[in-house]
Structure 1
Amino acid sequence: MQAIGFWFVLMILGIVNGIMRNDVYGPAIGNELLSHQISTVTGIALFLAGMYVWLKWTNARYSKKDLLVIGVMWFGMTITFEFIFGHYIAGHPWSKLLADYNILEGRVWSLVLLTIIVGPYFVGKYILKGCTDAI
């Protein structure tokens, strides 16, 4: 349950990151693609920092499998939120939502999703040096 609750923290971090891109540095840069790429890097950093704080301060112990399952669960929740909110609430067309997955066009959003999947395991094993059981 902690992992599901913490996903909402990640969602808030992602929204703040998007607001910063759209309202602060994006207009100053004047290049949407570059703003997207910077936002990807800052989003990854925010998510990894959040995962670090969560894993360091939680009382739960997680196995390698647990952390990978958490990452996959967060991935599914993120994709579901992105498409449902993005299309039905924000009103973005499907083509706009899918465009962020075109890495050949410099759209690197997929790296955020990869971080969401492997981030819990990476932070637990390599940054916190085995804060989990059975790694």
Structure 2
Amino acid sequence: MQDLIDYAIGRGWGVKYRDLGRRNGEYSRGLITINDRRRTGFTIRMTMAHEIGHAHHDHAWTDDPVLSARQEREADMFAAQILISLEEYARAERIVGAHPGAIAKELAVTENYVMLWRENYVQPRARLRHLRAV
């Protein structure tokens, strides 16, 4: 977790903890706020990575459902990139096989993050290999 805090602070974003009710976290104008009240370490870590994704893209809150969905996906995609390295993914796949749920458990991330990581790392390279072979 400290690695994520250092990452955020190193990029000039503030990090604070406070009770946000039912929400796990939020990002607004350079400040990441994490709700650590009755949250597991796993949830806090996933939330921090997700909010770093919002900070990276400098997302502003919106009530537009289409824009909000896009921003949430972008934040999750960025979170997957900072939580999963190629080396860690390869090691996990060697240990547990290709099942995303098993890989997620091995890497201590959500299955959704494994799927997004695959989508953005593995599949584009596979398409490039195919294009080169043509």
TM-score by length of 1: 0.33
What TM-score, normalized by structure 2, do the two folds share? 0.33
Structure with greater strand share of residues:
2
| Bigger helix fraction | 1
